[in-house]
Structure 1
Amino acid sequence: MFDFVRKHTRLLQFVLVLLIFPSFVFFGIQGYSRFTGGEATAVAKVDGHDITRAEWDAAQRDQVERLRRQMPGLDPKFLDTPEMRLQVLDGLVRERTMLAAADKLHLVTTDDRLQRIFATDPQFAQLRNADGSVSKEFLAAQGMSSVQFAQRLRQELSMRQVLQGITATAVGPAGSSGTALDALLQQREIQLQRFEPKDYLAKVSPSDADIEAYYKNPVHAAEFEAPEQADIEYLVLDLEALKKDIKVPEEDLKKYYTENEARYSTPAERRASHILVKAEKSLPEAERAKAREKAEKLLAEVKKAPGSFAELARKNSDDPGSKERGGDLDFFGRGAMVKPFEDAAFGLKPGEISGVVESDFGFHIIQVTAARGGDKKSYEEVRAGIEDEIRKQLAQRKFSEVAVEFTNTVYEQSDSLKPAADKFKLELRTASAVKRAPQPGATGPLASTKFLDALFGNEAVRNKRNTEAVETGPNQMVSGRIVKHEPARQRALAEVKAQVRDRVAAEQAAALARKVGEARLAELSKAPETALPGATLTISRAQTRDLPREVVDATLRANADKLPAVEGVDLGAQGYAVVRLLKVLPRDPATGDMARLQQQYAQAWADAESQAYFASLKTRLGARTTEAAAAAASSPAAN
């Protein structure tokens, strides 16, 4: 069932939104007033009613579980972050606000409308049984009764009505849509002159005072900080480690080979051509005899001149699917053809021609043109692979038991990994300069956020204790300990002087480029007819020609009442640019159908209006998060 949900996520999007928040298990929009939580900490309030920490935690767990079903390999820690938890709370506030608004506006979904929508809407087709009822398998997988499902669907449809009057009726006026599309799609022809810092590096020379001032500036402190790092040792318990000590008796390997011979054989195939004289089994015997006689005559011609088989097939075969190819049927295996045809074809060698073969379709003359497959690898060829596979299977069975022992050992003897390494015959691995976050190119446990979080935990750092055994992948447990720890520190100026000098030089070169560019702009402002070096460019927001965004924005923002016009663009660390605007051109035709774009603009307008209306609903209903929410967002969900 979970596979079904994962494969139909897009189709079921509308339904799944009903399942996010477990607080909506009460019945009836009129029952909204029962959403109270006076005994628990309120993290938000809507229309005078609390959203409690317990409800928020439940919604978070529900969302994490649903996403894990859809993406089984996803690390749950990525889902239980403060940002994700606040998103869930925002969703709860939105749901409660919409429920309250639907209740106050009397937007109740009747039983008849509920049934009609479920029975007719295509997005519910995969959830409907033949009799129109909802799939019990789906409900069971979600832990719901049919009453709960109907009520959640009723609530969602009622909430949709709150904004539907706005989203369904919003219109993008022609005037405003034209202005907006012009801003996006209008083209302008320009000349451009860049003043890049790299061209001015040779003209600057930072002094020691400049370098020291840059280094001591608090704004740049983080640039010269040596990050926290540690030299570590660690153990990896996985299937590869367990396989080393597993021995498989030779007789078991041979038995496995015998029981799985089909896996080591290539299916035999034949390529054949045929001439069919059609005569279905239901025909009178006289007509079938006449057809056989025709086939015998064709066989005599083929045997007299085997090279003419393809030509005779084109002229005489009654098989429309192969006659144009000279009777060629391409390669086929056993079971693909009717049995008399198959037996004859697999009884011939390449180049041989059969006699007349009778089948339910009529009479065939068969020529085998090629053969392949049918080979079987010897036991010696596949022995190593069989042994590895069996050892892997045995290691998987053993892993669960050993993982518990491994976990206990690294915990009970937490001042060293050597006892665990000796007991389980594991390699004691080491790594240097390990940081709190996975580094580019990291693999294995060093790419695991879970392992690194444990490694840099307070106890592991302060007392250099073994970490707990951390699951870093399927059938893989890891424990590590810090051997040497270096906290984050500010590097001395002597260590980073060359690096600081380069940055100061870059700043000074950018300032000089800006100064020269501004002087050029002043010249052009007095004589805008002066051409700039280089070719002209035609740009729009859709066709930026890889120019910096600042240049594109300045070009399309420039006043085009009097042309040519000039603009200066400060590119910060990238220098300066002078733009000379020559022409204003119509919208870029490559951007597509204007009617479709106007529809998209109208949809964007509708989205903006609905967001504004929802904001007003929140204000009217007093929807807000409390001070407790920010602190709770950083706390793990209650179990």
Structure 2
Amino acid sequence: MFESIRKHSKFVMILLFLLIIPSFIFVGVNQNYFTESSATVARVDGHDIKQSDWDNAHRMEADRLRAENPSMDPKFLDSPEARYATLEKMVREQVLLRAVQKLHLTASDAELVQTLQDIPAIASLKNADGSLDAKAYAALLGSQGMTPEGFEANLRRELSLNKVLGTVSDTAFATNARVKQTIDALYQHREVQVQRFDAKSYQSKVQPSEAELKAYYEGHSSQFQQPEEADVEYLMLDLASVAAGITVSEDDLRTYYQQNEQRLAGPEERRVSHILVKVAQDAPEAEVDQAKAKAEELLAQVRKDPKGFAELAKTQSDDKGSAAAGGDLGFFGHGAMVKPFEDAVYAMSKGSVSDLVRTDFGFHIIELTDIKKPAAPSFESMRTELEAQRRQELAQAKFAEMAEAFTNTVYEKPESLAPAAEQFKLKLQKAEHVARQPQATAQAPLNNPRFLEALFSSEVLENKSNTNAVELAPGLLVAGRVSEYRPARTLAMNEVETKLSQLYTQAKSAELAKAEGQDKLKAWEAQPDTAKLGPAQVLGRDKTENLPQPLIDAVLRAPTNSWPQWVGVDLGNAGYAVVKVLGIAERAAQDTQTVQMQTQQFAQMSGMAETMAYYELLKKQFKVQIKVAHP
């Protein structure tokens, strides 16, 4: 749900990096219970990113993406490119953090409030008077494993980070001349005639002899490899199964309710009014002194006549948003205000007035007008939720104990998984024809590269021993062993007769098609009147007519110094094509809506280009080093 924050806040940075890196990429890193590397994999402005940091970040992102996209291909998630992209993301965040600090960028309370209001799920929690239902808000965040304070702190941080690149992208603009020049080139159409020489049409001419098949087999042995494979056994210990076996007693549940009664009631909220004398944080000393003197004078008036606070706020406060209401800021909880302001408020008693409080906005005089402590919901109304929470807590504690014992058992009794299966009441599962690399059809845990790496390690294969316990995800351990191993080998010629014949015929047909196509191209260039081509048609990037992309690319790359241009296109196993490019076809006039859309797209692309350039400049400024080779 909270991904909508990014969508509704129009943060260009996110769109930018979705384009830079094929996102939706990150994959879990499985660590056993005994190893952790601390090697430095990247450095930003003297700050080291360690291998362990990278592994943890990769695993967390993978868990999130798997939860959001259960059908995501594990091979894609577990690729070296995916892991590297995680590292680039971590570097990016460090670069932006350094930029925020150096440029003194912060998100104001007003920006935070506006962003929260732009999130539909939060906006829907408003009361009739326009105030936010704090209890419903806390419950909503709690269902996502967050507190209001933590969520708002993270959101404020994201707002600050996005200011670094957002300010650059917002300056992009596009003139009509630039848009027309770019769009006309991008969507240029060319009139052509095409003659295809399809490889399939030549298959009947291919009658391979035994000697030809043997020569092809010997020259292309890599096409006839059977990868190494193994038959395996494995055990899985997971938190869900542990939780299912736990029963929570009535006494335990009531004790748990009493211990958490304050938390269940929700956070205390305080209502204040304030008078602000505005002065910038970096203002000259004389200006600060002048503002402070005015604030002290106002504070003296408040001390003399506390009941006149509201009237004084209306006429003297520089916070025009609250001045009209006598300085009233309404109720708020922890994390809603800047820290010096919040610290002062929560140190006050009801009805009291603070001393001067200095923040980035200036000097505040604060009056605490009310304190709201919500009552906890009844035990009966919370029973189901409490039971689930308590069961989960007990399960996590029990899983931690079992995980340690499970890890020790499979390690100390490496000759078999049976002892662990018996001790922990786990089903010993088996699988045949397991490959070293994750297969598209494989199910967990046999699609996990770390577990497969453990299964096919030299120690496990040579000693015929158990793997160490491997953590696939939080709350999920697996251990396995290889019952039978079959190394990689080249299949004998008699085992691949059908495949051999198909591959040879396919390759030879493509050769024949290409040879005839090249002969025709040479003859037709010399004598254009003899050419036998298809009817003229118009092609372009947005008008492919279902023709192969290499053909479209070749047509658009043809020189424009003279017409016609003859082009030969190798289509690989599909054959060959001869194309006569007759010239540039006039592009139809675009309607106003299309032109506006293209202008907007061009402006966005220009902004992205400028933003990427600025990011590269920041990388140089902060001396970014990535010590891992790009895959």
Q: Which runs of structure 2 are paired with 1:118-197 in the superposition (5 Å)?
A: 118-121=112-115, 141=146, 152=157, 155-156=160-161, 159-160=164-165, 164-165=167-168, 167-197=169-199
Provide the rounded CA distance (Å) in 1 between the counterparts of 2:240 and 2:152.
50
Q: State the structure with more CA Rg.
A: 1
Q: 1:426: Cα distance to partner?
A: 7.2
Provide the rounded CA distance (Å) in 2 between the counterparts of 1:553 and 1:133.
58
Contact 1:514 1:575 in 2 (8 A): yes
Q: 1:551: Cα distance to partner?
A: 1.0
Contact 1:232 1:431 in 2 (8 A): yes
Cα gap change, 1:117 to 1:582, in 2 (>3 Å): same
Contact 1:187 1:588 in 2 (8 A): no
Equivalence for 1:614: 615
Contact 1:42 1:50 in 2 (8 A): no
* Residue 232, structure 1, aligned to residue 229, structure 2: no
Contact 1:540 1:588 in 2 (8 A): no
1:65-91 CA distances to partner (integer Å, 9 max, x unpaired)?
466457547899987875455434434
Equivalence for 1:61: 56
Q: Which runs of structure 2 are paired with 1:371-520 in the superposition (5 Å)?
A: 410-419=410-419, 430-443=430-443, 445-447=445-447, 451-468=451-468, 479-492=479-492, 495-496=495-496, 499-500=499-500, 502-520=502-520
Q: 1:405: Cα distance to partner?
A: 7.3
TM-score normalised by L of structure 2: 0.55
Equivalence for 1:275: none
Equivalence for 2:601: 600
Q: 1:133: Cα distance to partner?
A: 13
Cα gap change, 1:61 to 1:588, in 2 (>3 Å): farther
Unaligned runs of 5+ in 1: 18-39, 246-392, 635-639
Q: Which amino acid aligns with 1:182?
A: D
Cα gap change, 1:579 to 1:489, in 2 (>3 Å): same
Q: 1:431: Cα distance to partner?
A: 3.6
1:467-487 CA distances to partner (integer Å, 9 max, x unpaired)?
456677999876543222112
Q: Which runs of structure 2 are paired with 1:241-252 in the superposition (5 Å)?
A: none
Contact 1:93 1:623 in 2 (8 A): no
Secondary structure of the 1:485 match is strand
Cα gap change, 1:436 to 1:71, in 2 (>3 Å): closer
Cα gap change, 1:101 to 1:434, in 2 (>3 Å): closer
Cα gap change, 1:221 to 1:171, in 2 (>3 Å): farther
Secondary structure of the 2:56 match is helix
Contact 1:528 1:564 in 2 (8 A): no
Equivalence for 2:339: none
CA RMSD of superposed structures (Å): 5.3
1:247-297 CA distances to partner (integer Å, 9 max, x unpaired)?
xxxxxxxxxxxxxxxxxxxxxxxxxxxxxxxxxxxxxxxxxxxxxxxxxxx
Q: Which amino acid aligns with 1:460?
A: V
Provide the rounded CA distance (Å) in 2 between the counterparts of 1:506 and 1:78.
29
Provide the rounded CA distance (Å) in 2 between the counterparts of 1:240 and 1:611.
44
Q: 1:507: Cα distance to partner?
A: 2.9
1:292-316 CA distances to partner (integer Å, 9 max, x unpaired)?
xxxxxxxxxxxxxxxxxxxxxxxxx
Q: 1:577: Cα distance to partner?
A: 0.2
Cα gap change, 1:514 to 1:593, in 2 (>3 Å): same
1:116-169 CA distances to partner (integer Å, 9 max, x unpaired)?
4334456666779977999888699379679966973674265236xx34x333
Secondary structure of the 1:587 match is coil
Equivalence for 1:574: 574
Structure 1, 175-184 or 603-612: larger mean CA deviation = 175-184
Q: 1:608: Cα distance to partner?
A: 1.9
Q: 1:564: Cα distance to partner?
A: 5.0
Unaligned runs of 5+ in 2: 15-37, 246-390
Contact 2:407 2:468 in 1 (8 A): yes
Q: 1:570: Cα distance to partner?
A: 1.6
Cα gap change, 1:596 to 1:210, in 2 (>3 Å): same
Equivalence for 2:348: none
Q: Which amino acid aligns with 1:503?
A: L
Identity of aligned residues (%): 34
Q: 1:441: Cα distance to partner?
A: 3.7
Cα gap change, 1:410 to 1:73, in 2 (>3 Å): farther
* Residue 50, structure 1, aligned to residue 56, structure 2: no
Number of residue-to-residue matches in the alignment = 444
Q: Which amino acid aligns with 2:549?
A: R
Cα gap change, 1:182 to 1:213, in 2 (>3 Å): farther
Cα gap change, 1:143 to 1:493, in 2 (>3 Å): farther
Equivalence for 1:539: 539
Secondary structure of the 2:528 match is coil
Cα gap change, 1:44 to 1:201, in 2 (>3 Å): same
Provide the rounded CA distance (Å) in 1 between the counterparts of 2:524 and 2:13.
61
Provide the rounded CA distance (Å) in 1 between the counterparts of 2:150 and 2:545.
57
TM-score normalised by L of structure 1: 0.54
Provide the rounded CA distance (Å) in 2 between the counterparts of 1:222 and 1:408.
42
1:509-567 CA distances to partner (integer Å, 9 max, x unpaired)?
32221121112112322343556355544332112122111111222333567655432
